[in-house]
Amino acid sequence: MEKRSLNHNKILSRLAGFLMLFASAFAFAQTSDYSFSGTVSDSSDGAPIPGASVFIKNTTIGGVTDFDGKYSFTGNVASGSYQLQVSYLGYTTKTVPITIGSEGNVVTDVMLQEDLLSLDEVVVTGSTVGVNKRTLGNSISSVKSEDLVNNGATAVDQAISGKVTGALVQQNSGDPAGGISIRLRGPSTVLGSSDPLYIVDGIIISNSSNQLIDLGGNAQNRLADLNPNDIERIEIIKGAAAAAVYGSRASNGVVQIFTKKGRSGEPRFSFSTNVRVNELRKEIDYNTVPLSWVDPFDRNNLETVPATRYNYQDEFFGTGFGVENYISMNGGNEKTSYFLSASHLDNEGIIENTDFRRIGFKANLTQKAFDWLTVNAGLNYVRSVSNDIPNGGINAAYGAITGFVFSDNSINPFPNESGVYPVTSNLVPRTNPLEAVNRFDFGQKVNRFITSIGLDAKITEKLSANYTLGLDYFNQSATAFIPINNTSPNGNGFARRSDINNFQYNSDLNLSYKTNINEAITSTTTLGGSWQYEEFDRIGISADGLPPIVETAESGSILAQGEGRSQISYWGAFIQQSFGYKDKLYINGALRQDGASTFGEDERNQLYAKASLSYILSEEDFWEDTFGDAFSTFKVRASWGQAGNLTALTAFQRFTLLNPAAINGSPSLIPSTQQGDLNIAPERQEEIEFGFDAGFLNNRLGIEATYYKQDVTDLLLPRELAPSTGFASRIENVGNLENKGLEILLKGSPIKSEDFSWDITATYSKNENTVTNVAGGGQFALAGSFSTNFVIEGEPLGVFYRQFYARDPDGSISLDENGYPFTGVTEDGSTSKVIGDPNPEWFGSLINEFTYKDFSFRVQFDAVQGFDVFNWNRRLLDNVIFGGGFNVGQELLGNRPKGFGGAQAGIFEEFVEDGSFVKLRELALSYNLREPFKGVDNLKISLVGRNLISWDDYSGWDPEINSAGQSNGVRGFDFAGVPIPRTYQIGINVNF
Give pLDDT tens digits for 449-498.
999 999 999 999 899 999 999 999 999 999 999 999 999 988 899 999 99
Out of 100-114, 203-217, 748-762, give the one with best mean pLDDT: 748-762
**Cβ partners under 8 Å of residue 612, min gap 6:** 136, 137, 138, 241, 587, 588, 589, 637, 638, 639, 640, 641
pLDDT band at residue 241 using 50, 70 and 90 as cut-offs: low
- pLDDT of residue 564 exceeding 50: yes
Same domain, 42 and 166: no
Lowest model confidence (mean pLDDT) among 589-598, 700-709, 959-968: 959-968
Cβ atoms within 10 Å, residue 306: 8
Question: What mean pLDDT comes out for the span 860-869?
Answer: 97
Higher pLDDT, 191 or 499: 499
Report residue 68: phi and psi, to 5°.
Answer: -100, 10
The total number of structural domains that make up the chain? 2
617 belongs to a structural domain:
no
Which alpha helices (DSSP H) does 47-193 contain, by range? 156-159
CATH number of the domain enclosing 74: 2.60.40.1120
What pLDDT is recorded for position 394?
A: 61
* Helix H or strand E encompassing 875: helix 872-877
pLDDT band at residue 404 using 50, 70 and 90 as cut-offs: very high
Question: What mean pLDDT comes out for the span 615-635?
Answer: 86
What pLDDT is recorded for position 125?
A: 65
Cβ atoms within 10 Å, residue 471: 18
How far apart, in whole angstroms, are the C-alpha atoms of residue 296 and residue 641?
61
- pLDDT of residue 548 exceeding 60: yes
Question: What mean pLDDT comes out for the span 832-842?
Answer: 97
Distance of CA 931 to the CA centre of its chain: 37
Report residue 313: phi and psi, to 5°.
Answer: -60, -35
pLDDT band at residue 691 using 50, 70 and 90 as cut-offs: very high
- pLDDT of residue 720 exceeding 80: yes
pLDDT band at residue 90 using 50, 70 and 90 as cut-offs: confident
Which of 472, 444, 403 minimizes the C-alpha distance to 176?
444
Burial class (CB in 10 A: 0-12, 13-18, 19+), 827: exposed
Report residue 893: phi and psi, to 5°.
Answer: -80, -5
What pLDDT is recorded for position 754?
A: 82
pLDDT band at residue 243 using 50, 70 and 90 as cut-offs: low
Lowest model confidence (mean pLDDT) among 241-250, 292-301, 323-332, 713-722: 241-250
What pLDDT is recorded for position 397?
A: 80
User: What value, to the nearest 5°, has the Cα angle with vertex 562 and ends 966 and 221?
Assistant: 20
105 belongs to a structural domain:
yes
Give pLDDT tens digits for 136-182.
888 888 898 999 998 999 999 899 999 999 999 988 889 898 788 89
Beta strands across the sheet bearing 912-914? 912-914, 868-871, 973-974
- pLDDT of residue 15 exceeding 70: no
- pLDDT of residue 567 exceeding 50: yes
What pLDDT is recorded for position 363?
A: 97
CA dihedral sign of residues 262, 267, 268, 274: positive
CATH number of the domain enclosing 153: 2.170.130.10
Domain end point (choices 209, 230, 257): 257
Lowest model confidence (mean pLDDT) among 241-255, 376-390, 479-493, 832-846: 241-255
70 belongs to a structural domain:
yes
DSSP single-letter state for residue 317: B
What pLDDT is recorded for position 445?
A: 96
- pLDDT of residue 765 exceeding 90: yes
332 belongs to a structural domain:
no
pLDDT band at residue 503 using 50, 70 and 90 as cut-offs: very high
- pLDDT of residue 128 exceeding 70: no
How far apart, in whole angstroms, are the C-alpha atoms of residue 189 and residue 729?
19
Strands 973-974 and 868-871, bridge-based pairing = parallel
Give pLDDT tens digits for 25-54.
333 445 678 888 999 998 877 788 888 889
- pLDDT of residue 67 exceeding 80: no
What pLDDT is recorded for position 11?
A: 44
DSSP single-letter state for residue 936: -
Same domain, 90 and 139: no
39 belongs to a structural domain:
yes
What pLDDT is recorded for position 20?
A: 41
Cα within 13 Å of Cα(684), Cβ side: 15
Domain end point (choices 112, 145, 165): 112
Question: What mean pLDDT comes out for the span 897-914?
Answer: 95
How far apart, in whole angstroms, are the C-alpha atoms of residue 618 and residue 698?
12
- pLDDT of residue 940 exceeding 90: yes
What pLDDT is recorded for position 130?
A: 66
pLDDT band at residue 1 using 50, 70 and 90 as cut-offs: very low
pLDDT band at residue 532 using 50, 70 and 90 as cut-offs: very high
pLDDT band at residue 55 using 50, 70 and 90 as cut-offs: confident
pLDDT over 70 percentage in the chain: 94
- pLDDT of residue 626 exceeding 60: yes
CA dihedral of 221, 222, 227, 230, whole degrees rounded to 10: -130
Which residues of 49-136 form beta strands (DSSP E)? 53-56, 62-64, 70-78, 80-87, 94-100, 105-107, 110-112, 122-126, 129-132
Average pLDDT over the chain reads 89
Same domain, 242 and 145: yes
- pLDDT of residue 16 exceeding 50: no
- Local structure of 904: helix, strand or coil: helix
Please give the residue range of the domain that contains residue 221.
Answer: 122-257
- Local structure of 908: helix, strand or coil: helix
How far apart, in whole angstroms, are the C-alpha atoms of residue 91 and residue 737?
40
Burial class (CB in 10 A: 0-12, 13-18, 19+), 886: middle
Lowest model confidence (mean pLDDT) among 114-123, 938-947, 957-966: 114-123
What pLDDT is recorded for position 555?
A: 87
How far apart, in whole angstroms, are the C-alpha atoms of residue 815 and residue 798?
30
- pLDDT of residue 208 exceeding 80: yes
Higher pLDDT, 284 or 245: 284
Strands 729-752 and 674-675, bridge-based pairing = parallel
Same domain, 138 and 231: yes
Beta bridge partners of 609: 591
- Local structure of 314: helix, strand or coil: helix
Same domain, 177 and 67: no
Same domain, 45 and 172: no
Same domain, 131 and 213: yes
How far apart, in whole angstroms, are the C-alpha atoms of residue 887 and residue 286?
8
Same domain, 152 and 44: no
Q: How far is CA 307 from CA 417, 605, 896, in A?
A: 22, 69, 20
Specify whether the CB–CB gap between 121 and 89 falls below 8 A: yes
What pLDDT is recorded for position 25?
A: 39
pLDDT band at residue 258 using 50, 70 and 90 as cut-offs: very high
What pLDDT is recorded for position 73?
A: 87
- pLDDT of residue 396 exceeding 80: no
Cβ atoms within 10 Å, residue 930: 10
826 belongs to a structural domain:
no
Burial class (CB in 10 A: 0-12, 13-18, 19+), 848: middle
Same domain, 197 and 156: yes
637 belongs to a structural domain:
no
Same domain, 230 and 162: yes
- pLDDT of residue 226 exceeding 70: yes
Same domain, 89 and 66: yes
- pLDDT of residue 804 exceeding 90: yes
Same domain, 173 and 211: yes
Specify whether the CB–CB gap between 341 and 377 falls below 8 A: no
What pLDDT is recorded for position 395?
A: 66
Question: What mean pLDDT comes out for the span 748-754?
Answer: 88
- pLDDT of residue 19 exceeding 70: no
Domain end point (choices 222, 257, 292): 257
What pLDDT is recorded for position 29?
A: 46
Rg (CA), the chain: 32
